[in-house]
Structure 1
Amino acid sequence: MELLITYDVDTTTPEGERRLRRVAKICEGIGHRVQKSVFEVVCTPPQRLHLEAHLQATIDPTLDSVRIYHLDRGTFHTAKHLGAAIDAAHHDPLII
Structure 2
Amino acid sequence: MDLLLTYDVDTTTPQGRRRLRKVAKICEGHGLRVQKSVFEIVATDIDLLRLLDDIGKIIDADTDSIRIYRLPHNGFNDVQTLGVAQVQPHREDLVL
CA root-mean-square deviation: 1.1
2:56 is matched with 56
TM-score by length of 1: 0.95
1:7 is matched with 7
Is the Cα–Cα contact under 8 Å of residues 42 and 90 in structure 2 kept in the other structure? yes
Aligned ranges 1:39-50 → 2 under 5 Å: 39-50=39-50
| Distance across 1 between alignment mates of 2:94 and 2:7 | 21
Residues 22 and 94 (structure 1), Cα distance of their counterparts in 2 relative to 1, 3 Å cut: farther
**C-alpha displacement at 1:94, in angstroms?**
4.4
**C-alpha displacement at 1:95, in angstroms?**
5.5
2:74 is matched with 74
**C-alpha displacement at 1:87, in angstroms?**
2.1
| Distance across 2 between alignment mates of 1:95 and 1:61 | 35
Residues 45 and 94 (structure 1), Cα distance of their counterparts in 2 relative to 1, 3 Å cut: farther
Deviation per CA, 1:25-70: give whole Å up to 9, x if none: 0000010000000000001110000000001111000010000001
Residues 41 and 11 (structure 1), Cα distance of their counterparts in 2 relative to 1, 3 Å cut: same
| Distance across 2 between alignment mates of 1:15 and 1:95 | 33
Runs (4+) off by over 4 Å: none
Provide the secondary structure at the position in 1 that maps to 2:88.
coil
Provide the secondary structure at the position in 2 that maps to 1:55.
helix
- Unaligned stretches of 5+ residues in structure 2: none
- Unaligned stretches of 5+ residues in structure 1: none
